[in-house]
A and B are shown apart, each in its own frame.
Chain A
């Protein structure tokens, strides 16, 4: 089973709202990732958690705040977003530090008004 789940599938929010994206995997993977993807572009790495610790932050604005409550869950808290933040947000997981194959969830389509 290589399933990564994400909720919600779609999200519309205003620039003053606070919302959260959720990601879950039950493959025993110890690395989890957040990517942002704009239309006709490849996924762009935002954050990496390895063994529940934040190991990479790709200089993402502080209006995006990741959280890894446990090894199966990954959240992305959103606050005061801008319209240009509208994109497909993808979660992925892989086995661990050297386990490299990443499996993606279905994504959350975010629209910021």
Chain B
């Protein structure tokens, strides 16, 4: 089982719809969860981080965390063509003096005009 799993997609949604991106993780001790957006040929850009169970909203983005079920999701409301990108879910793996960020393989989102 991979440490962080995402559906690679592509996830295709029409403009204006809600895009729902999901991620599961295997380490029950994980405390910190991140969503990065990566446009083709560019570097990852932090969208959201979430530490507590429940929802966290920032503009059109909502991150949802359920530690009991070990999943974290990202909702994008009113999706725009400019949201078309790969979305990387990442989880902190704790160990020693330095923590590591463990990435899922990413979900490609395509918003159709």
Residues of chain A at the chain B interface (Cβ within 8 Å): 2, 31, 41-43, 45, 48, 50, 55-56, 88, 90, 97-98, 100-107, 109
The stretch of B11-19, B63-71, B94-102 that contacts the partner chain: B94-102
Residues of chain B at the chain A interface (Cβ within 8 Å): 32, 34, 36, 41-46, 49, 88, 92, 96-101, 103-106
For B46, what are the chain A residues with a Cβ–Cβ distance below 8 Å? Answer: 2, 101-104
Prevailing SS type, chain B contact patch: loop
List 13 extra interface pairs beyond A56-B98, A104-B45, CB under 8 A.
A41-B105, A42-B104, A42-B105, A43-B44, A48-B100, A56-B100, A88-B41, A97-B98, A100-B101, A102-B34, A104-B44, A106-B43, A107-B42
Q: List 26 A-B contacts (CB under 8 A).
A: A2-B46, A31-B98, A42-B88, A42-B104, A42-B105, A42-B106, A43-B44, A43-B103, A45-B101, A50-B98, A56-B100, A88-B41, A88-B43, A97-B97, A97-B99, A98-B99, A100-B32, A100-B101, A101-B49, A102-B34, A102-B101, A103-B46, A104-B43, A104-B45, A106-B42, A106-B43
